[in-house]
Amino acid sequence: MKEVWFRWLVWLDFRLALLFVLIVPLVLFIWAFAQKAQTMQHLLAIYWRVASLLGITLYLAIAQYPISFISGLIARILIPLSLWFWVDLNDEIEYQPNSLFKLIFTSWRWATTVYCALGAIALVPFLGCAFSGSAIKSNYCQVWFEAPLFFKGIFHANTKTPFLGVLAIVGLIIYVLCLGYFVIIKLGKQGRTAVEQ
């Protein structure tokens, strides 16, 4: 593949996603259970539901579906929303006593928000890859599929790509249905309160 100047940035994005979107929140989730920090557990449970769209995006990119550019952008918008949207959880976290766990948790929320915002801005110029059959075949777009294909080579070396693509499409449909249910029905009832009355 012809060299593109931003390839290193795409790989950096993949590594940062592993850190901020997978590894750190997984450690925090386990730590929240160990600390019996129910507010953080609740927020992280919401986070994992929302962030699953990035996992779906990874598998859409393995199959090189153009929609992966759109789902990736939407995931980077929804993740910070899921971390800051809930008034009741924000208040409870703010008024908890200072501790190392609270400091790391709050630092991760801010770092993930900044990462997702910068990632969303960086993806905008590549949205054309989702809408043009000829663009998706260009090096400009194909570079975004390198890291997902590397991931496939490690974790799904013997699995056929079309099968992973079908799983990703099914996952995306389920995600959209659940998100639609939340926005149309649940959000109107509970507003910005995460804990249902």
Question: H-type helices in 95-155, by residue range?
Answer: 100-123, 139-142, 146-155
pLDDT in tens, 3-47: 789 999 999 999 999 999 999 999 999 999 999 999 999 999 999
C-beta separation of 11 from 146 below 8 A: yes
Task: Tell me the pLDDT band of 193, cut-offs 50, 70 and 90.
Answer: confident
Give the C-alpha separation, 152 to 62, whole Å: 7
Give the C-alpha separation, 17 to 39, whole Å: 24
- The token duo for 178 is 């659940």
Give the global pTM: 0.93
Whether residue 197 is predicted with pLDDT greater than 60 in this model: the reply is no
Q: What is the mean pLDDT of residues 177-196?
A: 87
pLDDT in tens, 115-129: 999 999 999 999 999
Element (DSSP H or E) covering residue 8: helix 7-17
Element (DSSP H or E) covering residue 174: helix 161-181
Whether residue 65 is predicted with pLDDT greater than 90 in this model: the reply is yes
